[in-house]
């Protein structure tokens, strides 16, 4: 029996419109590459490190290649050529490029077939590595995971990776299932990924491969101590989406904040750049068995959650359509939504619950990620704690998968140790005390909630159909999302978008998509309990 009577014909229409939106943008995505994708290819092939000015080697090599007009062929093509040309192994070529002994513009372009053969081999090795890590995760999950959803997701944000480790382990011991290391302010606008362990982030900690590794190790330790697999999350977002996806794949991150439009709308990153980058980054996530978390909550930090609820739903449909096109399984698409209505709305809890139930019904296999109240949190930590409790109640009643815990000091500071403890205590108390309420209640036919859900659905559907008609990029130009207008040629990062040449070569999409679309890929994302 359906918990809320949702108009499924409308759902089909909305999904169809989203699919048309995806089809509309896909040819454009396929026609281009970006500097960040090419840097990512380098990273996957083993390029790492920084020069004496702390400039990452992938940037140095790709910038040179771009300056020499080589990038349209794909960096892989030129690396392959260099290997053949120099008769050297990949590590050797990388070493020579890194030390400046070799420059790609000095390399003679080689026969495409030969290049493919050479690089393919290397790419397969890297991919086998990633598969190995995925299997490692799956084994740990099968071995350890024993809690039931909603999974408790908690953030750490000290700016110092070593302090973060202390906070993260403490949170795990208190009962957190998922740890997100919040990223330093402004990193999304950097067109490179910082290097090495960092201790001086601002409002968050830099996303670096070393930091990923340090935290993953700490959480593996915590997982064993707690007898629960503790998941690690970071931000696969901003100008370096693909590279961060690669870093995550190589360091066994479990989830990634990764939204198709967030960068465009909220960080003023060029739309072309974003659409191209998100596609490739999502292929990596798909292949690595990573769950993505989309960022629909962001709409509600500026817009009113009651009035603009349909934009969240519309964005969920678009994120789903694009994610499927990158090979993500339904179970990997952690669509976002948020509990952000003004707490003083009469029956506000009913509207929130309606929205949450609706998302659950429309995206039955998605590990929905539910974001807590933030905007209406004030310095009244006591009322804030109650708002978080009602959010937790809505989460357990509507059967959310990932519950990002609200923190009573949301208005005040990034969470202190005790704030996190109280947040976890809150969630555990509420979710245990009302554990099976979901199975116990049903909603009134034609009641407040059903009406509300169908209204939101109808609005989202007509919005999606409009977007499909004029194309996604035009819709964004017209300010149809979050009332924010972005020009096609505006925003940061357009200079990193390059039209592919005929001989463009990148070995990874093929490998990723082959494995993904073959039946034997279906990553173990949670333990058995989720189904139960």
Partner 1 sequence: MDVNMTRIRPYGDTLDDGYMQLSFTLPVPLSAEARKAAEILAEKMGLEDVKVVYAHSIADSFSFFVVYGRCIHSVDMTAIDIPKVDADFMSYEEINEFIEKRIGRKIVVVAACTGTDAHTVGIDAIINMKGYRGEYGLERYPWFVTYNLGSQVPNEDLVAKAIQVDADAILVSQVVTQRNIHIDNLTHLAELVEAEGIRDRVLLIVGGPRISHELAIELGYDAGFGPGTLPSHVGSFIAQALERSIRNRAEAKGAYPCQMNP
Residues 235 and 244: beta-carbon distance below 8 Å: yes
CB of 292 to ligand PLP, least distance (A): 9
**Contacts with 439 (C-beta within 8 Å, 6 or more apart), sequence order:** none
Indicate the residue among 235 and 443 with the shorter CB distance to a copy of itself: 443
Binding partner selected for residue 259 from partner 1, ligand PLP, ligand B12, none, CB under the kind-specific 5 to 8 Å limit: ligand PLP
Catalytic: which of 177, 259, 369, 419?
369
297 annotated active-site: yes
Q: Is 301 in the site for partner 1 (CB under 8 A)?
A: yes
Q: Are 208 and 194 in contact (CB under 8 A)?
A: yes
CA 482 to chain centre: 19
Q: 238 to 257, contacts with ligand PLP by CB under 6 A?
A: 238, 257
x-marked contacts with ligand B12 along 345-384 as a string, rule CB under 6 A: -----------------------------xx-x-------
Give the Cα separation of 258 and 394 in Å (integer).
24
Of 271 and 390, the one with the shorter C-beta distance to a copy of itself is 390
For residue 200, the SS3 value is: coil
Residues 64, 70, 71: CA angle, nearest 5 degrees: 85
* Positions that interact with a copy of itself (CB under 8 A): 343-350, 382-383, 385-387, 389-390, 393, 408, 422, 425-426, 429-430, 432-437, 439-444, 447-449
Site stretch for partner 1 (CB under 8 A), options 349-357, 415-423, 438-446, 522-530: 415-423
Site for ligand PLP in 180-239 (CB under 6 A): 183, 187-188, 235, 237-238
Q: Does 64 participate in binding partner 1 (rule CB under 8 A)?
A: no
Least CB distance to partner 1 at residue 377 (A) = 11
262 catalytic? Reply is yes
Quick one: which of 258, 174, 255, 262 has its CA closest to 212? Answer: 255
Interface positions, 175-204, toward ligand B12 (CB under 6 A): 182-183, 185, 203-204
Q: In angstroms, what CA-CA distances link 23 with 26, 351, 452, 472?
A: 5, 33, 30, 10
Q: Please name which of 340, 375, 339, 374 lies closest in space to residue 357, comparing C-alpha atoms.
A: 339
- Give least dist CB 223 to partner 1, A: 14
Nearest to 228 by CA among 139, 134, 153, 147: 147
- CB of residue 66 vs a copy of itself: minimum separation in angstroms? 54
Closest alpha carbon to 110 in 131, 89, 82, 133: 82
When binding is defined by CB under 6 A, the residue of 216, 267, 376, 385 that contacts ligand PLP is 267
Residues 46/93, Cβ–Cβ less than 8 Å: no
Is 192 one of the annotated active-site residues of the chain? no
Instruction: Tell me the catalytic residues.
Output: 262, 297, 369
């Amino acid at each position: 029996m359906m918990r809320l009577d949702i108009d499924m014909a409308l759902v089909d229409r909305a999904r169809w419109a989203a699919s048309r939106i995806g089809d509309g943008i896909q040819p454009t995505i396929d026609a281009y590459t970006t500097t960040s994708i090419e840097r990512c290819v380098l990273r996957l092939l083993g390029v790492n490190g920084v020069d004496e000015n702390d400039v990452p080697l992938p940037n140095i090599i790709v910038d040179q290649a771009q300056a020499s007009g080589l990038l349209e062929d794909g960096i892989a093509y030129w690396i392959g050529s260099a290997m053949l040309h120099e008769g050297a192994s990949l590590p050797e070529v990388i070493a020579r490029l890194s030390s400046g002994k070799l420059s790609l513009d000095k390399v003679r372009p080689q026969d495409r077939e030969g290049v493919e053969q050479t690089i393919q081999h290397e790419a397969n090795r890297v991919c086998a590595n990633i598969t190995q890590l995925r299997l490692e995760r799956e084994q740990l999950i099968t071995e350890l995971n024993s809690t039931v959803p909603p999974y408790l997701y908690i953030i750490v944000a000290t700016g110092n990776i070593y302090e973060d480790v202390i906070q993260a382990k403490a949170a795990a011991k208190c009962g957190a299932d998922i740890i997100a290391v919040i990223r330093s302010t402004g990193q999304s606008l950097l067109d490179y990924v910082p290097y090495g362990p960092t201790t001086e982030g601002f409002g968050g900690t830099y996303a670096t491969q070393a930091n990923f590794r340090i935290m993953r190790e700490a959480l593996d330790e915590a997982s064993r101590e707690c007898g629960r697999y503790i998941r690690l999350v970071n931000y696969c977002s901003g100008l370096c989406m693909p590279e961060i996806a690669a870093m995550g794949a190589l360091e066994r991150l479990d989830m990634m904040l990764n939204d198709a439009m967030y960068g465009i709308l909220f960080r003023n990153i060029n739309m072309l750049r974003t659409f191209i980058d998100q596609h490739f980054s999502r292929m990596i996530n798909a292949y690595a068995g990573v769950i993505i978390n989309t960022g629909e909550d962001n709409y509600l930090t500026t817009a009113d959650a009651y009035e603009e609820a349909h934009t969240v739903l519309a964005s969920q449909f678009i994120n789903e359509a694009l994610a499927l096109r990158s090979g993500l399984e339904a179970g990997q698409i952690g669509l976002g939504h948020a509990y952000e209505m003004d707490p003083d709305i009469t029956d506000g809890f009913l509207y929130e619950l309606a929205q949450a139930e609706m998302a659950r019904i429309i995206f039955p296999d998605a590990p929905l990620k539910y974001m807590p109240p933030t905007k209406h949190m004030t310095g009244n930590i006591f009322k804030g704690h109650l708002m978080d409790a009602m959010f937790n109640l809505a989460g357990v009643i509507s059967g959310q998968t990932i519950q990002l815990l609200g923190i009573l000091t949301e208005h005040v500071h990034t969470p202190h140790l005790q704030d996190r403890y109280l947040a976890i205590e809150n969630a555990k108390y509420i979710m245990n005390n009302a554990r099976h309420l979901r199975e116990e209640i049903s909603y009134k036919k034609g009641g407040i909630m059903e009406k509300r859900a169908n209204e939101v659905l109808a609005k989202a559907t007509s919005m999606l159909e409009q977007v499909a008609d004029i194309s996604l990029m035009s819709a964004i130009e017209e300010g149809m999302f979050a009332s924010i207008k972005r020009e096609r040629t505006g925003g940061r990062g357009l200079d990193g978008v390059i039209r592919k040449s005929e001989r463009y070569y990148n070995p990874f999409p093929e490998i990723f998509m082959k494995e993904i679309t073959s039946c034997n890929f279906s990553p173990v994302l949670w333990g058995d309990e989720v189904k139960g």
